[in-house]
Amino acid sequence: MQAQNPAAASALPKLPKSPTGIEGLDEITEGGLPLGRPTLICGSAGCGKTLMGIEFLVRGIQEFNEPGVLMAFEETVPELAANVASLGFDLKNLQAQKLLRVDHVHVDRSEIEETGEYDLDGLFIRLGYAIDSIGAKRVVLDTIEALFSGFPNQAVLRSEIRRLFRWLKDRGVTTVITAERGDGSLTRQGLEEYVSDCVILLDNRVIDQITTRRLRIVKYRGSTHGTNEYPYLITEDGISVLPVTSLRLEHEVSDQIDSSGIPALDEMFGRRGFYHGSSVLITGTAGTAKTTLGASFARKICQEGKRCLMFVFEESPQQLIRNMRSVGIDLAPFIENGLLHIEASRPTLNGLERHLVTIHRLVKELDPYAVVIDPITNLISVGNMAEVRSMLTRLIDFLKVSNITAVFTALVNTGVGRAEMTEEGVSSLVDTWVSVRDLEGVGERNRGLSILKSRGMAHSNQVREFIVTDHGIELLDVVIGPTGIVTGASRLTQQLAEHAQDLAAHQEAERRDRELERRRRVLEANIANLRTEFESVEEELRQITTHEQTRHQTLQSGKQRIAAANPPIQNPPAANPSGE
């Protein structure tokens, strides 16, 4: 089979869509609801169907300049306006500006006298006038059950439902129709979901005494979409859907390095710190200074003039500030100048989704450079393992996409096989994992720190003992004993023994130096004596040589005088034998 050409795929026409403006919903629907087509929102009571429809209208007016019509069959116009006022939706003002038309249609079965064929022609005329009066692009019908309560004949009912949806399509308006969930079907009539182009199912469930709302797109004609169940919240800002962000893992990365706030710990990393935008997990048993490590990082970020956001689930801000001040970490000045914001609450105050929405909201409001969450373990109390892992996965992805350095602390179980695992199962998701643990010695417990992993850089494989002092965390040098690394009192004993050995070696070296000096002086004295003796012999030999030379010169002089006094006798000339 031939591979599909990405360029050709991108050139294919796409279904026109109308963005909802509801946070997260447009990501799941990959752009919004089908433009000019009806969308069905169904669910049980209290799941927020009406609110989602109204927010669809209000966001369309405020963000996309698309007027809308809200036709309600249950609540009156004043009731609807009062219900959504707490969310910041001013329906009266929008109506006064001719951007919104709200119409209440009262349908009471007891007031209807069936005479002849019953149809929706009157509704079409009324709705058509409302659309034309303001040039509406969006329509919401809430709820369809009240409208069709006057149809005792099922055949007529189904025919009118089809006619209503066809009429809305012909008008070309993007429509949201709310419906109550039926028994064994998405709606009570069991037909609306088939004639709708998009069906969104809202669910409100209670698990372990915690309410959770979830959204699922059942179908979407002509478009791909998210198929999972997505938690959503109704907050003071409206509806917020929480999709899993960065599914394609295409977020940008940075080579910038952030310090941990502890110089000795930075030295254990090949790049002297963490990569900016990465996620760091600090795990350890109770009392191993995980919070102190997180606070040290937060202080360092604030000292550099950057904003940091801390979420704490075990201490109040005042208690955290007091406790950190006792170890030399003063966070109060950074809170006063706005560089540090501490959000403290019990995990059980809200569900997992509420905590995630709170983090999203504060990150968008404060735009922090770094985030510290201490500890993520407490989230187990408001969800099971799978839910907590899913929530933390979305959180880690959100912070990575936002290019925010995140530091998480987690309590680990010291049971067998759990020493290097976290209850949340997120250790494989983070980029850097720092483990702090108890190092039990003879009658004492000490703290040790090690780096289990750090993606993209070399790091130390040592287990470093550290202490919490009045000026923060201090990592101690590694001391090797006969049986390995020693800590605590054994470290002190080993250091004393090493000091004694060093002192003895120093004293032995001084003794050898003194012996060498003594020998040098003796040797120099011997050399001086030999030199004196040599000079004496040399002088004696010089005198002998001088005496011999003088004697030799005297003899030579005497010989010369004798030779001069006795010249040699010359012989007479010989006789001439010829007689001459």
User: What confidence category does residue 551 fall into, taking pLDDT thresholds of 50, 70 and 90?
Assistant: confident
Q: What is the mean pLDDT of residues 412-433?
A: 64
3-state secondary structure of 576: coil
**Token pair 């110089």 in the structure block, residue:** 263
Residue among 428, 436, 453 nearest 293 (CA): 436
Domain ranges of the chain: 4-241, 257-462
Q: Which residues contact 243 (CB under 8 A, 6 or more apart)?
A: 24, 27, 28, 226, 230, 394
Q: What is the mean pLDDT of residues 469-486?
A: 72
Q: Considering the entire predicted model, what is its pTM? A: 0.66
Backbone φ and ψ for 213, nearest 5 degrees, come out as: -105, 135
pLDDT at 1: 38
pLDDT at 278: 92
pLDDT at 3: 44
Lowest mean pLDDT among 27-31, 200-204, 543-547, 565-569: 565-569
**Token pair 């199962």 in the structure block, residue:** 425
Q: What is the mean pLDDT of residues 149-175?
A: 80
Q: What is the mean pLDDT of residues 446-455?
A: 90
**Are the beta carbons of 101 and 61 closer than 8 angstroms?**
no
How far apart, in Å, are the Cα atoms of 316 and each of 313, 319, 342, 343, 374?
8, 5, 9, 9, 12
Residue among 36, 38, 39, 41 nearest 16 (CA): 36
| DSSP state letter for 42 | E
**Token pair 């004609």 in the structure block, residue:** 221
**Are the beta carbons of 174 and 37 closer than 8 angstroms?**
yes
Lowest mean pLDDT among 176-190, 229-243, 413-427: 413-427
What digits encode the pLDDT tens for the residues 133-150?
Answer: 999 999 999 888 777 765
Pairing of strands 480-481, 274-275: unpaired
Pairing of strands 138-142, 100-104: unpaired
- pLDDT higher than threshold 50 for residue 6: no
What digits encode the pLDDT tens for the residues 67-117?
Answer: 999 999 888 888 889 988 888 889 999 999 999 999 988 766 554 444 445
Sequential DSSP letters for 347-404: GGGS-HHHHHHHHHHHHHHH--SEEEEE-GGGGGGGS-HHHHHHHHHHHHHHHHHTT-
**What are the structure tokens assigned to 151, written together?**
């149809």
pLDDT at 572: 61
Amino acid at 145: E
- pLDDT higher than threshold 70 for residue 42: yes
Percent of the chain whose pLDDT exceeds 90: 32
Phi-psi region of 187 (alpha: psi -120 to 50; beta: other; left: phi over 0): beta
Residue among 187, 220, 215 nearest 201 (CA): 215
Which H or E run contains 179? strand 174-180
Query: CATH topology of 4-241 equal to that of 257-462?
Result: yes
In the chain, what are the helix, strand and coil shares in percent, each to the nearest 5? 40, 25, 35
Helices 121-134, 154-171: axis angle to 10 degrees equals: 20
pLDDT at 75: 86
Q: Is the peptide bond before 546 cis (omega within 30 degrees of 0)?
A: no
Q: What is the mean pLDDT of residues 446-465?
A: 89
What digits encode the pLDDT tens for the residues 494-505?
Answer: 666 777 888 888
CB atoms within 10 A of CB 468: 16
CATH number corresponding to 257-462: 3.40.50.300
- pLDDT higher than threshold 90 for residue 196: no
Amino acid at 190: G
- The CATH superfamily assigned to 4-241 is P-loop containing nucleotide triphosphate hydrolases (3.40.50.300)
What digits encode the pLDDT tens for the residues 284-328?
Answer: 888 889 999 999 999 999 999 999 999 998 888 999 999 999 999
Print burial letters for 146-176: b (CB count within 10 Å at least 16), e (below 16).
bbbebbeeeeebbebbeebbebbbebebbbb
How far apart, in Å, are the Cα atoms of 444 and each of 438, 464, 487?
10, 17, 10
Amino acid at 31: G
Sequential DSSP letters for 258-279: E--S-HHHHTTBTTSSEETT-E
- pLDDT higher than threshold 60 for residue 10: no
